[in-house]
Amino acid sequence: MNARQGNVVKTSLLTMSALALILASSACSTQTVKTTTLTPIVTEQVSVAEDELLDVGIAVFLPGLDDIPKNREELTFSDVRMAETQFVSYQIAQTLQNSGSWGVVRVNPNDLSASDLAVRGSILQSDGETMVVKVSVTDATGKLWYEKEYEEVVSKYSYDPRLRRNEDPFQGLYNRVANDILAYRQKNFDRNELLTIRTVSRLQFAKSFAPQVFDQYLTTGREGTLQLARLPAADDPMLRRIDNIRERDYLYIDALQDYYGNYVRQMEGPYTNFRRESYEEVIKYDRLRAAATRNMVLGVAAIVGGLVATQSNSSAVQYSAYGGLFGGGYLIKDAFGKRDEAQLQLETLAELGNSLESEIAPQTIELDEKVVTLTGTVQEQYSQWREILADIYTAETGGAPAVTTTIDTTPAPTPQN
């Protein structure tokens, strides 16, 4: 066998391999096994002293719209994603609360620095089939507990109302988040450390209202975390005042929970419908896109191989080359067809998304307005309280009120006889 004959054989083998690949690819498909198995929530096994229970603030999750992969952009609807930020945050808060392992758990759109524990996160993917969220947990001292991505892929049975048992299809993900936070706390903190966290958060809050008084009690350690420098007296009147204010802060956050609760309950029905309906569409779309890409690649490869093989002197190789050309052409045509089908799927999904968006966008706007208005009102009140506390501090430290000085230095009117 000379060199040319060898090349021809190689080429014909390549062509045959491509054809075999084509046949093989049409015979098998990727399968994702999914179950409706739900990660159960872990609850505290031993009784925890009430003063060790950390209150948890859940920040409204970030929508992650800037981090959406290129191939998911068309499947993401910004208004839906914004609604999901409230929805997911609220669901995680409810899950943590229901675990019984924490103090009060609240969704809080504001600064969480005075929370015992702050949970922040962003939604990286949510399309009905898959949810990916990134979560970070930080305590009041500023210590980062951990940062982690959670992914959950649900089966279509997760949307079957007979199997859902009133739970969100992604409840397993929320449970995993709650379980991890609890596990971290159990593993890393003893009673004294938990009490320290609670004291720091209390002083952080106090400092935000009366920094002139409470700045001295907290220092920043080498690692950048807050540490207790010393403690105020148990009956410190200023701390008592601020504790009263903190109760009001809780009331305010409770009012926000009502907003979020109402919002989530209103959106839950249409949102679940959307996820269930889009579930199948997303899977079909992904399959069509994958098949279109695969067939296009194989089709091009088969044609290139076939073109080379047509140069062969062997009639057998030439026949197979023509087969490759024919098969490649068919695959490319099929790829275009699948791409068109995928586009139709996308349009169906867009209709679903637009429908949900038009339904929940007004509610989202209303929620935002309520939160902003109430927060603005409360912050104005807080400013007033800060002023009063500053005045009290001045009075307590012997500072003379400016007006007294002003009045006292004003010459008294000369009595007119």
Partner 1 sequence: MPSAGGGLPGMPGLPGMPGSPGSTGTGSGSGDILAGSAGSNGNGTLDGNDPFGGLGRNGNGSVMTAAERRAVLDGRLEASYGTFDGMIIGERQRSVADANAAGSSVMGTGAGENGEGEAGGQEGGEGAFGEGATVMASANTGGSGGNGTMPDGGLVRDGEYSNQNKPTFAPPGDIPSGDDDDVVARQLREAALHEPDAELREKLWDEYRQYTGLSTQ
- CA torsion through residues 242, 243, 244, 248, sign: positive
Q: Does residue 388 touch partner 1 according to CB under 8 A?
A: yes
Q: Which among 162, 171, 114, 122 has a CA at the least distance from the CA of 139?
A: 114
How far is Cα of residue 173 from the mean position of the Cα atoms in its chain?
11
Q: Smallest distance, Å, CB 227 to partner 1?
A: 18
Interacting residue with partner 1 among 150, 209, 259, 274 (CB under 8 A): 259
CB nearer partner 1, residue 76 or residue 86: 86
CB nearer partner 1, residue 256 or residue 321: 256
Q: Does residue 215 touch partner 1 according to CB under 8 A?
A: no
Interacting residue with partner 1 among 45, 166, 313, 315 (CB under 8 A): 166
Q: Smallest distance, Å, CB 138 to partner 1?
A: 19
CA–CA separation, 117 and 144 (whole Å)? 10
Interacting residue with partner 1 among 67, 74, 180, 268 (CB under 8 A): 268
Q: Smallest distance, Å, CB 269 to partner 1?
A: 3
**In the window 344-373, what residues touch partner 1 (CB under 8 A)?**
369-370, 373
CA–CA separation, 286 and 280 (whole Å)? 10
Both tokens of 351, joined, read: 């209709």
CB nearer partner 1, residue 290 or residue 388: 388
**In the window 298-337, what residues touch partner 1 (CB under 8 A)?**
none
Q: Does residue 403 touch partner 1 according to CB under 8 A?
A: yes
Q: Does residue 104 touch partner 1 according to CB under 8 A?
A: yes
Interacting residue with partner 1 among 3, 24, 46, 402 (CB under 8 A): 402
CA–CA separation, 18 and 307 (whole Å)? 13
Q: Does residue 412 touch partner 1 according to CB under 8 A?
A: no
Q: Does residue 103 touch partner 1 according to CB under 8 A?
A: yes
Task: Characterize the bridge pairing of strands 130-139 and 105-107.
Answer: unpaired
CA–CA separation, 309 and 14 (whole Å)? 9
CB nearer partner 1, residue 225 or residue 272: 272
Q: Does residue 395 touch partner 1 according to CB under 8 A?
A: yes
Both tokens of 327, joined, read: 């098969």
Question: CA dist 110 to 11, 379, 381, Å?
Answer: 67, 11, 16
Q: What share of the chain is helix, strand, coil (3-state, %, to 5)?
A: 65, 10, 25
DSSP 89-123: HHHHHHHHHHHTSSS-EEE--S--TTSSEEEEEEE
**In the window 31-50, what residues touch partner 1 (CB under 8 A)?**
50
Q: Does residue 265 touch partner 1 according to CB under 8 A?
A: yes
Interface pattern 168-207 for partner 1 (x via CB under 8 A): ---------------------------x--xx--x-----
Interacting residue with partner 1 among 241, 289, 294, 338 (CB under 8 A): 241
Q: Does residue 290 touch partner 1 according to CB under 8 A?
A: no
Give Dmax over CA atoms of the chain in angstroms: 140
Q: Does residue 257 touch partner 1 according to CB under 8 A?
A: yes
Q: Does residue 374 touch partner 1 according to CB under 8 A?
A: yes
- CA torsion through residues 170, 175, 176, 180, sign: positive
